[in-house]
Amino acid sequence: MARGCLAPSGHWSTLIDRRPLRYGPRNHTVGATDKPLVALERSLRMRMEARSLEIPTPRRIRYGGDYNPEQWPEHLWAEDVALMAEAGVNLVTVGVFSWAQLQGGLGAELSADWLDRVLDLLYEVGVGVDLATATASPPPWLVRAHPDILPVSADGVRMSLGGRQHYCPSSSVYRDAAVDLASRIASRYGGHPALELWHIGNEYGSRVNACYCEVSAAAFRKWLRDRYNDDIDELNRAWGTAFWSQRYLDFDEVGPPRTAPSMRNPTHQLDFLRFSDCELRACYLAERDVLRVATPQVPVTTNLMGLFQPTDSWAWAAEMDIVSVDRYPDPADPYAHVQAALVADLTRSLGAGRPWYLMEQAPGAVNWRPTNVPKNRGEFRTWSLQAVARGADAVLQFQWRASAAGAEKFHSGMVPHGGVDTRQWREVVALGADLRNLAPLAGTPISAHVALLVDWESWWALELGSHPAQLRLPELLFELYQPLFDSGTTVDFAHPESDLSQYRLILAPALYMVSGRAATNLIAHVDSGGCALITYFSGIVDPDDHVRLGGYPAPWRDLLGLDVEEFSPLPSNETLPLRGSVAHSRSTGRRWAELVRLRGARPLLEIAAGPLEGQPAATVHRYGRGAAYYLATTPDPATLTALISEITFEAGVPTAPPRPVGVEAVERGGHVVLINHTDAPIDADVGANPRRDLLSGSMKHHSVTLPPRGAVVLAPAENL
Ligand code: GAL
């Protein structure tokens, strides 16, 4: 799926350390507690999970977090593993930021006796390891020897050492050093029986998503030559350089889109975003490939970040065995649980429905917001259960033990500064017990009949600026997601060019840039009996960010039975009254309006007053065997909910049984999960057939009272 990406430069395979595995092929003996069969079973199961989902019993949900023993005196490690056993921890991520503790010079042997002892200790107590390649934070000695690995910002400032992720993604010095380290780690630990998963880098692009240095500039030029077949006229055409005297005579005249005196060429910026994503992924792939050669049986992951704009998650997920995500909703946000659900559904979809890992969440508060509100009592549990309900097979936290020093010392940990006689620790232990009870859900699938289209390239182009209004895709996605969440309708996310045949309804919010293939894909979906809801500012430009001419949205005018002649975005404090079949007496539209000419579509909502009175705000058009809906504004939440409910009904999306406001309902593998996200008890109907609640072990039927932030997980009726 890595559309438009070039193969990583250099021959990484030549850098692979081919020395024999230190621990041999998984028959290593660890003192008196050797468990080769357990290790074999674990390795086999991981392999099957990653590739075919045929997981033999016993299933289990992984539980644990980032474990950074190098921050602590060794005598504490025994306490760590004892506490892990108490909490039911069975997987920890080790070594994410350990480079400086593992290697003392470029190409030097690992000084990793401490890590040997950590892994052996974890193995002894049956805790599996998600072992990091440790390349996320280059050590000071590397920066000192090669200061040009430090990244440069768009306005020419070279960043300094002292934080993390301070590397230029195009730097061959950084990449070679990272591959060397990954290779040494693979060779030393590839056969260690505790090893379950490789964790490559960390949150690629989260601190530096693009570098504007001369090394990056040269790599960008090479990337452009490849993209445009060495033809500068092709680049000039694609970038529309006839505008503002920007015509290039040679690729050598081109640089990254550094800070400039006025609005920068959008296609230049778009190509640089594509390039920067490819360069970051090339760093990941270089490490991934050495691991795959050294340990083909061990799955790999790197932690994605949900709706994180700089990296195209479709392309990244396609390169992983297990898709994992870091999820940090703000407890101060009343919709945090809905945001969290969205990220869960997105992550599951990125892995084509395979179980995914919640790689990081905070057990309590984070320390990087201006004000760090802790999770409300019970939210650590409910948000974790939600992740499992929506397809996660692992609930891992950042981090095991809250640090005593460093930039994250006020970030919560599973073991807080106050130790074990704390609310936090009690919640950690209780969650471990809950997750043990949820083992039957591990590996089971989730089905959805509705998909939201998201395409990172379109998102990049949408938010480049110099547009009629600044639209933010996450907001638009969320606005459509929320009414579906509220009605208990499970939603997948899909790439616009992917197979949509399993869905009855496709939602396309502000899908600004579409390829010809994506345009036809949606038309074919409706033609063959599906439904689609397309919102304003969709189908506007082609992949070069050139307007598709002839009236908006050019590729879908026939599909929608209308032409949009003019955009009329609204100032943020302005709303327009709406009327129509799904309107209530005070329906309004905000953010956007348009001059729309109907050519067969029927209005469902229209503007009720003002200069745009009578203009359609929502329409429906029968097309082929299906129906195409269009939204020309953002209706108020109640009106949007009514509209979406009508559309899902018309589309034949199976309706979830009604349930009280504040209760989330999801079905996974025949289990029904009900979660009360409020701080008041709520009664919920669970049907007449008695079903076992996996969390409490008791039978439930007719009605249950969900305590504040309480939950039930009802087993399928046949699993009594
Ligand atoms: C993540 C990161 C972790 C830690 C955490 C704190 O973004 O991967 O290393 O910094 O945030 O919330």
Q: Note the CATH architecture for domain 663-719.
A: Sandwich (2.60)
Between these two residues, 453 and 49, which has the higher pLDDT value?
A: 453
Is a pLDDT exceeding 60 seen at residue 124?
A: yes
Contact 178, 286 (CB under 8 A): yes
Question: How much distance in Å is there from the Cα of 195 to the middle of ligand 1?
Answer: 22
Structure tokens at 310: 């700089």
- CATH of the domain spanning 450-651: 3.40.50.880
List, chain by chain if needed, residues with CB within 6 Å of any ligand 1 atom: 202-203, 206, 326, 328, 360, 362, 366, 398, 408, 411
CA distance linking residue 413 with residue 421, whole number of Å: 14
pLDDT at position 610, please? 95
Give percent above pLDDT 70 in the chain.
92
Q: What is the pLDDT of residues 334-380, one digit of tens each?
A: 999 999 999 999 999 999 999 999 999 999 999 999 999 999 999 99
Nearest CA, atom 11, ligand 1 = 398
Residue 303 CA, closest ligand 1 atom number: 8
Amino acid at the residue 436: R
Question: How much distance in Å is there from the Cα of 411 to the middle of ligand 1?
Answer: 9
Contact 46, 299 (CB under 8 A): yes
Helix locations, 634-702, DSSP H: 637-651
Nearest CA, atom 5, ligand 1 = 398
Q: What is the pLDDT of residues 668-707, one digit of tens each?
A: 999 999 999 999 999 999 999 999 999 999 999 999 999 9
Exposed e or buried b per residue across 262-286, where buried means at least 16 C-beta atoms within 10 angstroms of its C-beta = eebbbbbbbbbbbbbbbbbbbbbbb
Domain boundaries, the chain: 450-651, 663-719
The Cβ of residue 610 has, within 10 Å, a number of other Cβ atoms equal to: 11
Residue to substitute in 165, 408, 410 for testing ligand 1 pocket (most ligand atoms within 8 angstroms of CB): 408
pLDDT at position 30, please? 30
Q: How confident is the model at residue 720 (pLDDT cuts 50, 70, 90)?
A: low
Nearest CA, atom 4, ligand 1 = 398
Q: How confident is the model at residue 4 (pLDDT cuts 50, 70, 90)?
A: low
Question: How much distance in Å is there from the Cα of 329 to the middle of ligand 1?
Answer: 13
Q: Which residues are catalytic?
A: 203, 360
Nearest CA, atom 3, ligand 1 = 398
DSSP assignment of 620-642: EEEETTEEEEEESSEE-HHHHHH
Question: How much distance in Å is there from the Cα of 153 to the middle of ligand 1?
Answer: 22
Phi, then psi, of 197 in degrees rounded to 5? -155, 145
Between these two residues, 576 and 656, which has the higher pLDDT value?
A: 576
pTM score, whole prediction: 0.93
Nearest CA, atom 12, ligand 1 = 366
Residue to substitute in 67, 204, 360, 375 for testing ligand 1 pocket (most ligand atoms within 8 angstroms of CB): 360
Residue 203 CA, closest ligand 1 atom number: 8
303 CB contacts (<8 Å, ≥6 apart)? 199, 202, 203, 324, 325, 326, 359, 360
**Which H or E element spans position 326?**
strand 324-326
Question: How much distance in Å is there from the Cα of 21 to the middle of ligand 1?
Answer: 31
pLDDT at position 39, please? 40
DSSP 718: G
Q: What is the pLDDT of residues 201-211, one digit of tens each?
A: 999 999 999 99
pLDDT at position 29, please? 31
Structure tokens at 712: 């039930």
Contact 711, 675 (CB under 8 A): yes
Q: How confident is the model at residue 24 (pLDDT cuts 50, 70, 90)?
A: very low
Residue 362 CA, closest ligand 1 atom number: 12
- Parallel/antiparallel/unpaired status of strands 392-397 and 450-453: unpaired
Name beta bridge partners: 562. 598
Q: How confident is the model at residue 659 (pLDDT cuts 50, 70, 90)?
A: confident
CA 352, 354, 360, 366 torsion-angle sign: positive
pLDDT at position 23, please? 53
The label of the residue with tokens 């399928």 reads 716
* Averaged pLDDT for residues 204-227: 98
Residue 366 CA, closest ligand 1 atom number: 12
CA 334, 340, 346, 348 torsion-angle sign: negative
Contact 137, 166 (CB under 8 A): yes
pLDDT at position 5, please? 62
Is a pLDDT exceeding 60 seen at residue 26?
A: no
Q: What is the pLDDT of residues 422-448, one digit of tens each?
A: 999 999 999 999 999 999 999 999 999
CA distance linking residue 522 with residue 238, whole number of Å: 25
Residue to substitute in 367, 373, 398, 411 for testing ligand 1 pocket (most ligand atoms within 8 angstroms of CB): 398
Is a pLDDT exceeding 70 seen at residue 298?
A: yes
Question: How much distance in Å is there from the Cα of 398 to the middle of ligand 1?
Answer: 7
Q: How confident is the model at residue 53 (pLDDT cuts 50, 70, 90)?
A: very low
Question: How much distance in Å is there from the Cα of 320 to the middle of ligand 1?
Answer: 20
- Identify the CA nearest to 224 among candidates 235, 216, 233: 235
* Averaged pLDDT for residues 118-127: 98
| Cα–Cα–Cα angle for 326, 327, 330, rounded to 5 degrees | 145
| Cα–Cα–Cα angle for 112, 118, 123, rounded to 5 degrees | 130
pLDDT, averaged across the chain: 93
CA distance linking residue 281 with residue 325, whole number of Å: 16
pLDDT at position 719, please? 52
The Cβ of residue 231 has, within 10 Å, a number of other Cβ atoms equal to: 12
Exposed e or buried b per residue across 73-106, where buried means at least 16 C-beta atoms within 10 angstroms of its C-beta = eeeebeebbebbeebbbbbbbbbbbbbebbbeee
